[in-house]
Amino acid sequence: MVKCGARYILITSRNSSKNRQTIQELEAQGPKVVIKTADLTNKQQIVGIRDYILKTMPPIGGVANGAMVQVNSLFADLDYDVLQELLRSKVGGSVVLDEVFSHDDLDFFLLFSSISALTGQSTQANYAAANNFMIALAFQRRARTFPASVVDFGPIIGLGSIQRYESSGFYDITSVLRSLNYMPISERDLHYLLTEAVLVGKKNKLPEITTGVEAGSSSITFWHKSLLFPHIL
Ligand SMILES: NC(=O)c1ccc[n+]([C@@H]2O[C@H](COP(=O)([O-])OP(=O)(O)OC[C@H]3O[C@@H](n4cnc5c(N)ncnc54)[C@H](OP(=O)(O)O)[C@@H]3O)[C@@H](O)[C@H]2O)c1
């Protein structure tokens, strides 16, 4: 976004002391980057964030929800609290953003979903449900003539949760995902996908971009049996 001209970026997290180095690297390229402590699911806090932006920055260009709390659990073990923990950031947080920024003339409203929303995953029923809510919200916003886009990402290598798994040394998650015919996404791919998502957000095109499944692979995996994918296999 910075390379494409964004000059004011505000990032929220429940612990804003993280990622200072990334922010310094971004600021070295010119933009003003502010990180605020806020829980996305707390509407009052997000109203306060919007007020802060309106007082200190130019009109709001767009909003993105990349928040996640991932708790993997088999469906049989999925109790109410575990389900709620994951739904909060993706479902509750997206609803808050939809409501709080509904009076702004946005260029984009971007939601981060996962390919798991379409393929399913044995320990990620809660994650799939939360991401499917985001997909539905994107379509519903567009039906209301608001901008919206949603990306069903495949595994993003070298960043975020995958990177944390890798560096924990617990197991080689990239190899596991490759064996399931998920296509890895590089940081550069991620930038292109986000650019594309911003561009489709207001156009007369579907708001959903799906990526991360390996077309034409010879080995068979569970999601190949899904009726969603025969056209790409
Ligand atoms: N990484 C991948 O391979 C991959 C693949 C498919 C989809 N995605 C999607 O991409 C997004 C980012 O993934 P990631 O791997 O970068 O995740 P990540 O490193 O775990 O980052 C998620 C962030 O969400 C923040 N967060 C959680 N709940 C929040 C809340 N209530 N309010 C404010 N912030 C909150 C967390 O910060 P605090 O704990 O400080 O609040 C955390 O920094 C997610 O939506 C994920 O579903 C990622």
Q: What is the set of domains in the chain, with CATH numbers?
A: 67-232 (3.40.50.720)
Q: Which of 166, 213, 159 is nearest to 190 (CA)?
A: 159
Q: Mean pLDDT over residues 128-133, rounded?
A: 97
pLDDT, tens digit (0-9, with 9 covering 90-100), for 139-169:
999 999 999 999 999 999 988 999 888 888 8
Whether residue 70 contacts residue 117, with contact meaning beta carbons closer than 8 Å, is answered with: no
- What separation in angstroms does the CA of 29 have from each of 25, 102, 110, 150, 187? 7, 31, 23, 27, 18
Query: pLDDT value at position 82?
Result: 86
Q: How much of the chain, in percent, has pLDDT values that exceed 90? A: 66
pTM reported for the whole predicted model? 0.95
Tokens describing residue 163 = 């990177």
Which contiguous run of DSSP H or E holds residue 175? Answer: helix 173-179
Tokens of 6: 């964004």
Lining ligand 1 with CB less than 6 A are 12-15, 18, 39-41, 66-69, 88-89, 93, 112, 114, 153, 155-156, 160-162
- Position 143 scores a pLDDT of 96
Q: Is residue 233 pLDDT above 80, yes or no?
A: no
Question: What mean pLDDT, rounded, does the chain reach?
Answer: 92
The pair phi, psi for residue 210, each rounded to 5°, is: -115, 135
- Among 10, 11, 12, 13, name the best residue to mutate to test ligand 1's pocket (greatest count of ligand atoms within 8 A of Cβ): 13
pLDDT, tens digit (0-9, with 9 covering 90-100), for 199-226 = 999 988 899 999 998 877 678 899 988 8
**Lowest mean pLDDT across 96-105, 141-150, 176-185, 188-197:** 176-185
What confidence score (pLDDT) does residue 174 get?
A: 87
* Residue 185 burial by Cβ neighbours in a 10 Å radius (0-12, 13-18, 19+): buried
**Nearest alpha-carbon partner for 124 in 96, 152, 148, 98:** 152
Residue range 50-71, pLDDT digits in tens: 999 999 999 999 999 999 998 8
